Structure 1
Amino acid sequence: MDGRQKKEEEDGEAVRLRREIGPVRAVSFIIGTVVGSGIFIAPKGVLANSGGVGLSLVVWALCGVLSLLGALCYAELGTTFTKSGGHYTYLLETLGPLPAFLRLWVEFLFIRPAVASYVSLAFGRYVVEPFFAPCEAPTPLIRLVSILGVTFVVAINCWSVTVASRTQVTLTFIKTFALVLIIVPGIMALAKGKTENFQKGFELEALTPDRLPLAFYNGLYAYGGWFYLNTVTEEVINPNRTIPLAIVCSMVTVTVLYVLVNVSYYTVMTPGELLLSDAVAVTFASRALQGMSAVIPLLVALSCLGALNGGFFSSPRMLFVGAREGHWPPIFSMIHIRRHTPLPAVLFLYPLVVLMLITEEIQHLISLASFARWFFIALATLGMLVHRYRFPQLPRPFKVPLVIPVTFTAVCFFIVGLSLYSDPWNTGRSCALTLTGVPVYYAVVRRSRLPPGCRRVFDYCSKQLQILLEVAQQDVKTY
């Protein structure tokens, strides 16, 4: 047996995460995570808070540009710091352990459960409502179907990284087809001269500056997911090339598709009709795609499932890296010995999402999650600027012009600051929940002040969980 064959066999037996995400899977991963429930639900929120058709289209385009700028910043971060973990890793490397721990804390306290709950409820609604139309579908049934969708996604992410990534590629093609199916009839109607809904699109009477940040939050929610590839850097093949290429291709494609979808919506539907619709894509299909109107809810449900799968694929990697760095219990840094998946980290999310699905009022979830998410994204890009200043000679395989991170960071902080004025209740709640992590960090993480008895119980439970789940620490360092 030669040395190369021996190394391949050893790699095959090693307990570690594999590099299995190439350019096609990376692009599919980003598009499949970005395009979820947002484009089918958020147009109502963008229009209601922007005050007009023209301004709402401007908001959609600006959200796409802003997301692209942020994605380019994260491409630099992802090629500078080769560890997985995304936001957590970048904050840890640039601004220190406390901001990194707080990002980890809010991700699993409410950001990921809130986002996953919102997307899964959209999945449940689009699956159930066609069977009850024109009557209202029962809420308990919607929640039950949502939980089944979450359970399916958790199962495939526990089973295999390859199966999860192939599922993402398949669902990405399906959801792209759904967007094209919406765009084509709308553009055809626009070409025939159906432009009455655009003629007074830039009247500013209905615009209220205090509500504009909420319009951007709804739009940015629909674009959310451009940063998820960075959470799995250690599983990307040739990340220095793949990450920037996938990010640019994906975000340009999504921005063009989103703007065209909204143009199509406004061509076929009046602003009043759009504001009255809880399922914009279904209302659109009933008017423009009468022969295929029954297909649209299914395609939208699959689109939501793809976004849910992308979230459950990426977010546990942040917890995995946090545990590896000592900011979370060690059991969450372990990998299944045969499946090579971060099983404990994936399973940890499941009860949190189900609990929020059952108890939380869904209409406030976007604002609750968006404030903390965008605040820490702004901190991460600010950290990138600080790191550039402190270590100017450090090799950066992909480096963006200085104006991009400066502009992006300033805009993010501006939107976050305005949101405190626009929606003080939800942003205040988000702030308070974030700050609860400070005493936890100083009491438990930094100084490890657990009493000896508690530590023995904790270690015993961790050992039993390790045996039950059949997990172990990584055999080799891959970052």
Structure 2
Amino acid sequence: MRDGEKHAGQVGGERKSPCCCCAPSAIRAPSDGRILMQAKPEMAEGAKVSKVDGDKKEEAVHLRREIGLLPAVCFIIGTVVGSGIFIAPKGVLMNSGSVGLSLLVWALCGVLSLFGALCYAELGTSFSKSGGHYTYLLETLGPLPAFLRLWAEFLFIRPAVASYVCLAFGRYVVEPFFTPCPAPMVLIRLVSILGVTFVVAVNCWSVTLASRTQVTLTFIKMFALVLIIVPGVIALAKGKTENFQNGFEVDALTLDKLPLAFYNGLYAYGGWFYLNYITEEVINPKRTIPLAIICSMVTVTIFYVLTNVAYYTMMSPVELLQSEAVAVTFADRALQGLASVVPILVAMSCLGALNGGFFGVPRMLFVGAREGHWPPIFSMIHIRRQTPLPAVLLMYPLVVLTVMTGEIYQLISFASFSRWFFIALATLGMLIHRYRFPLHPRPFKVPLVIAVTFTVVCFFIVGLSLYSDPWYTGGSCALTLTGVPVYYLTVHSYRLPRRWKRVYNYLSKQLQILLEVAQQEVKTY
């Protein structure tokens, strides 16, 4: 990793890509004899550059701009609408205590997510780099918060979130075959691992294939929501309103549980920031990012509230709390003829969310490695597939391990604290950057009241969660802080023993040759 001191005093400025300490200036690929060249930082996007021009530029190793408006909208919706809306209603109701308050939580989570998405639309158009949270923390608050975001994402946020979705996928695939008996947990975990293996393979194979898979799965999951909403609305129109009587009884509500209700709801909305991970691959990002974010989040909020109304129309609160798979229980009540189809649709929805996560998050690790905050091998791209292969593969082992050992509701609380803490830091950094650099170009500017409201609410929820669930949120905080000594040892001062450095460089060279990857040859930001 490069010395982190090189970033000092450059917040908001331009940085050079790190040198590949794990490879010589040219490495010959074992399969076709191509020379794996170093990145050429001076190559600006769209410029005429010697040796990389026309067809040669098309052949150069770099991530291409292939995400238009429809794929961008599908990318956000497909990542947001995953397992959450089919599992989180139980957690929201359990911690809010009443039907009416749970619906209010769902609506407020949608509004809060929209506010956050608008803030990230400004960030995504103000900074042209991919990387999402990491890039914005680096540009506004400096290298240490940015590194801690990378560290937390790798160590437990991504494994926990992906495992949650994987286990939901496995449950919805397996449970219909064992109804009314409980499905074996071993089989659920096995199917979950098969699901994540498929998604990793797709994202390693082709960016285009991963994008088309996301669009297809998005249409499938929206059809699943429509299939739930329509019978619920019809039953409600016919007067089936008994479950909404006295909907705002708050006897079961305690203040310490309310943040957990919001965590479950916000988790179901999580994913509105994923498009910012792939800014460098979006066509005309200054227009596409804000438009895609606004369209997708308004659509998701409306669908989520209507879906929960449909749940409560056909199921009592007690029945919903007793259900391990809410959508399956709903289908048994309202869609007898199609009850067997709903679990398949929900499983495809989970697969789409998983695909979106594995498409976006590796780009954050990719950019972190490019900036010198992560091993340089992870800033490399496959010479033929044009995918960030090492960054995608890095996430796979920890996700599999978490799937084998994790519990589905504990995973939400464990990951949410650090996730929302860093989101709050990113929007706080946006406000600080506005004050420090008022002339910085901002093609999209969110109203100040929205940015301040979102930041304050995020910090409030994060702070209150430490009180309401100190075990898991405290553990999440402690694991995040373990990145501080790692940063100062490996990035800031790079004080590793010389023998360790030689071994590390040797293994990196061999891994680069084995995976057939090279640094990007065209600057994409």
TM-score range, shorter chain: over 0.9
Report matched runs for 1:148-187 at 5 Å.
148-187=194-233
How far apart are 1:357 and its partner, in Å?
Answer: 1.0
Establish whether residue 72 from structure 1 lines up as the match of residue 131 from structure 2: no
Shift of 1:69: 0.2
> 242-251 or 9-18, which moves further after superposition?
9-18
Q: Deviations over 1:286-305 (max 9, x none)?
A: 00000000000000000000
- Corresponding residue for residue 510 of structure 2: 464
Partner of 1:335: 381
7-16 vs 285-294, greater mean Cα deviation: 7-16
Structure 1 range deviating more: 168-177 or 196-205: 196-205
**1:363 & 1:237 partners in 2: Cα distance?**
37
TM-score by length of 2: 0.90
Partner of 2:185: 139
CA distance in 2, matches of 1:140, 1:410: 42
Unaligned stretches of 5+ in structure 1? none
Aligned ranges for residues 222-261 of structure 1 at < 5 Å? 222-261=268-307
Are 2:142 and 1:96 equivalent residues in the alignment?
yes
The residue that corresponds to 2:336 in the other structure is 290
The aligned residue for residue 46 of structure 1 is 92
Shift of 1:362: 3.0
Question: How far, CA to CA, are the matches of 2:409 and 2:91 in structure 1?
Answer: 11
Letter in 1 for 2:417: F
Identity in percent: 81
1:354 corresponds to: 400
The residue aligned with 1:190 is: 236
- In structure 1, which of residues 455, 461, 468 is the aligned counterpart of residue 501 of structure 2? 455
Q: 1:426 aligns with which of 456, 465, 472?
A: 472
Structure 2 partner of 1:276: 322
**Aligned AA (1:421):** Y
Output one character per residue of 1:141-174: Cα deviation in whole Å (capped at 9) or x when no partner.
Answer: 1111000000000000000000000000000000
Indicate the residue corresponding to 2:81 in structure 1: 35
1:209 Cα deviation from its structure 2 partner = 1.2
- For 2:158, the equivalent position in structure 1 comes to 112
C-alpha distance in 2 between matches for 1:61 and 1:443: 45
The Cα of 1:18 is off from its aligned counterpart by 0.5
Whole-angstrom CA distance in 2 between matches of 1:203 and 1:456: 65
CA distance in 2, matches of 1:139, 1:404: 44
Distance 1:32 1:424 in 2: 32
The alignment partner of 1:137 has SS state of coil
Query: Once the 2 structures are TM-superposed, how far is the Cα of residue 8 of structure 1 from its aligned partner?
Result: 3.2
**In 2: Cα distance, 1:13 partner to 1:456 partner:** 33
Counterpart for residue 435 of structure 1: 481
Superposed displacement of residue 115, structure 1:
0.4
Match of 2:441 in 1: 395
Per-residue Cα deviation, 1:100-126 (whole angstroms, up to 9, x for no partner): 000000001000000000100100111
Instruction: Tell me the amino acid that sits aligned with residue 87 of structure 1.
Output: H
TM-score by length of 1: 0.98
Distance in 2 between residues matched to 1:449 and 1:227, nearest whole Å:
35
Could you tell me which of 332, 354, 365 is aligned with 1:319? 365
The CA deviation at 1:135 is 1.2
Deviation at 1:347, TM superposition (A): 0.3
Compute the RMSD of aligned alpha carbons: 1.0
Give the CA deviation at 1:452.
1.4
Aligned to 2:450: 404
Give the length in aligned residue pairs: 476
Runs (5+) with no aligned partner, structure 2: 1-47
Deviations 1:441-470 (Å, cap 9, x if unpaired)?
A: 011111111121111111110000000000
Query: For the residues of structure 2 that align with 1:416 and 1:189, how far apart are their CA atoms?
Result: 38
CA distance in 2, matches of 1:28, 1:408: 24
- SS in structure 2 opposite 1:58? helix
How far residue 132 of structure 1 moved from its aligned partner, in angstroms, is 1.2
Specify the alignment match of 2:56 in structure 1.
10
Task: Specify the code of the residue in structure 1 equivalent to 2:507.
Answer: C
Deviations 1:194-223 (CA, angstroms, capped at 9, x unpaired): 111111101222221110000000000000
Question: Does 58-67 or 203-212 show the bigger shift?
Answer: 203-212
Aligned counterpart, 1:414: 460
- Which contiguous aligned blocks of 4+ residues in structure 1 show a shift greater than 3 angstroms? none
- Counterparts of 2:89 and 2:250, CA distance in 1: 18
Q: CA deviation at 1:363?
A: 2.8
Query: Could you tell me how far apart the structure 2 residues matched to 1:217 and 1:262 are?
Result: 16
